Structure formats: C-alpha cells, structure tokens
Amino acid sequence: MSERKERLAQTNYWDALFAMRDRQREDRKNGIQVIKQADLPLELNSQGLMRWYMHPDIKDTILTTYLFFEQEIPPGSRTGRIKFQGGQAMYITAGRGHTFLDGVRHNWKAGDVLNLPIRRDGIIVQHVNDDPDNPAIFVAAEPNWFECTSVDRGSGFEQLEVAPEYNRRG
C-alpha cells in the first residue's frame, strides 16, 4: 500500500464531514451577528485604507461565505491597481471619483453602485478619488471563493501597483 493510501486509510472521511458540521455549528452558535464599524481597525495595505467586516481569515462571524470591506481613498489619491477575477459589487457611500476597469474609465459618486464583472482571464481595476479636499469611501462585497477555488480563482491575483499611502516595510 502506498504511503498516501495508508495515511488516507487512517481517517473515516464520512465521519469527518459530521465532525466538521459539529464544529461549524458550534462556531456559528457564538458567532457575531452585528459587525460594528467602531470595533474594526482601519488597515493600511498595498491596496490602500481598508476596514474588513468579513474576510476568509475572520472566523468569528455568523457567515464566512462573503468577503466584505470598506475602503477609503484619501483626497486626490487612488487605490492600488489589481488584477483579480471580478464578481464584486461596490456601493459608493461618500465622495466622487472614477474607476479604471481594463483601461476604461467609469465615473461614480456617492449613492452609485459599481459592478465589477467576472471575466475568465480576470480584470484589472484601480479606483481614483477626484475630490482634492474630501475622501471617497465605498463598501464592496463578493462571494468568498478563496476556500473553494483558491486565491487565484483561475485568473491570477496580482498587485500591479500599490496605493501611494502604503509604505512597504521590508
């Protein structure tokens, strides 16, 4: 018997599904139902300023099936530029600006919804705040495909340019 077959034979995978179910039920029993902005830090990363409500590594919420974040773009600034699968909906809560989606400019303002399409080979996106005096803020949601399709999601996941405020620490 091969080493892998021997190792796999040590586990009853049907029973493992029920054990997983029991762990998930226990986790959800005490999971956070209301996620309050005041309880979340503002993170500076290569994409800019973000506040994470739901993320694959945040496990204490009722749902883990979505990615949900708020992003703030300082006055006159921009986000990093990324390539990813798409499939994200954004609601602009404050400010005005534009988004480059595969090189095409799309203007937006508070109250607008921006739909980033899913494309087989991915999309390239960057958001820009057109107001020199006030921040632009949006929230974004997408399914948490990271666990079932990997972070690359079949199209690649690359940081193509960093936000100006990000100070990469070596």
For position 156, what pLDDT does the model report?
72
Residue 112 within a domain: yes
Q: If pLDDT is split at 50, 70 and 90, which confidence band does 92 have?
A: very high
Overall number of domains in the chain: 1
In a domain, 129, yes or no: yes
In this prediction the pTM is 0.81
At 111-132, the pLDDT tens digits run 999 999 999 899 999 999 999 9
Q: Determine, yes or no, domain membership for 15.
A: no
Residue 169 lies in a domain: no
Where residue 118 sits, what CATH number does that domain have?
A: 2.60.120.10
Does residue 19 form part of some domain?
A: no
- Residue 132 inside a domain? The answer is yes
Its domain, for residue 148, covers: 35-161
Q: Is the dihedral of CA 24, 51, 123, 150 positive or negative?
A: negative
Q: In a 10 Å sphere around its CB, with 0-12 CB exposed, 13-18 middle and 19+ buried, how is residue 73 labelled?
A: buried
Does any domain span residue 12? no
